[in-house]
């Protein structure tokens, strides 16, 4: 079973460039998860044969937002994590399947000057509580832009980015805490020493120079880690400042 996740940084813009339809068709996923859609459902007529879609849009128009396209009808769909403080920005969609939960998430950015770092810390604790509760019931697949480069290998210039949003000690420690709560970073589990990035700034020719960050992930609960069959980071695909990431699991929907 094939999963793809992509922060499209504005779905309408990505579609307008002509990149999205091509990537969607070529990647041929069972589940195609999107972050930062920046739109309300219905603003774009984007349906694909054989797929149904679920959308969680932010109350603030043109901001945040997630969506999931699936070939497999879920047992249930949940929007948000059940905490009002976090659930107005369209950041989480959970599909319950027979064997697993699929959680598509767009984690809040701590922003310039780390002005949202305190909020980010509350988010991290509440999100970890949410997914750990799911994992008590069945396997969990978490995908999306987690807005953190976990280790120095996951960022081109670790020293100069040490206190920048996405590479603070606090954010990295929260990611470590999530993993130690019973989750596996699927890419790093299969590629322990490989350097590959999923996001590049639009400034300073960062993508051209491959001065990137790996901040887009697939995590699985430890009950599913033996089912990992393959992972990819598709840095050959353009259309956003992020590229799609992929996970293949030996699972039934």
Residue 201 · residue 166 · CB < 8 Å: no
Distance CA 54, CA 66 (A): 9
Q: Would you give the end-to-end CA distance of the chain in angstroms? A: 8
Task: Choose, from 54, 69, 106, 197, the residue flagged as catalytic.
Answer: 106
Distance CA 47, CA 202 (A): 29
Q: What is the CA radius of gyration of the chain?
A: 17
Any catalytic annotation for residue 106?
A: yes
Q: What is the number of residues in the chain?
A: 253
Task: Choose, from 145, 154, 185, 241, the residue flagged as catalytic.
Answer: 145
Structure tokens at 138: 């069945």
Distance CA 158, CA 180 (A): 23
Residues annotated catalytic, as ranges: 106, 145
């Amino acid at each position: 079973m094939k999963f793809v996740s992509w922060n499209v940084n504005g779905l309408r813009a990505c579609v307008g460039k002509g990149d999205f339809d091509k990537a969607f068709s070529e990647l041929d996923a069972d589940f195609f998860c999107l972050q930062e859609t920046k739109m309300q459902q219905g603003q774009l007529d984007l349906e694909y044969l054989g797929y149904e879609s679920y959308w969680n849009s932010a109350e603030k128009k043109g901001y945040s937002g997630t969506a999931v396209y699936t070939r497999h009808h879920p047992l249930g769909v949940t929007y948000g994590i059940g905490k009002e403080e976090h659930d107005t920005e369209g950041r989480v969609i959970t599909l319950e399947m027979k064997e697993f939960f699929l959680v598509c998430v767009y984690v809040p950015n701590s922003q310039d000057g780390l002005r949202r770092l305190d909020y980010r810390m509350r988010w991290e604790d509440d999100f970890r509580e949410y997914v750990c509760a799911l994992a008590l019931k069945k396997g969990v697949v978490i995908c999306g832009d987690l807005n953190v480069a976990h280790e120095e290998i996951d960022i081109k210039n670790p020293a100069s980015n040490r206190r920048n949003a996405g590479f603070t000690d606090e954010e990295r420690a929260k990611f470590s805490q999530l993993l130690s709560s019973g989750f596996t970073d699927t890419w790093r589990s299969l590629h322990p020493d490989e350097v590959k990035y999923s996001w590049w700034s639009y400034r300073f020719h960062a993508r051209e120079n491959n001065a990137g960050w790996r901040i887009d992930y697939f995590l699985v609960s430890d009950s599913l880690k033996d089912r990992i069959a393959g992972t990819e980071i598709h840095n050959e695909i353009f259309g956003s400042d992020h590229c799609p990431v992929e996970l293949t699991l030996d699972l039934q929907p």
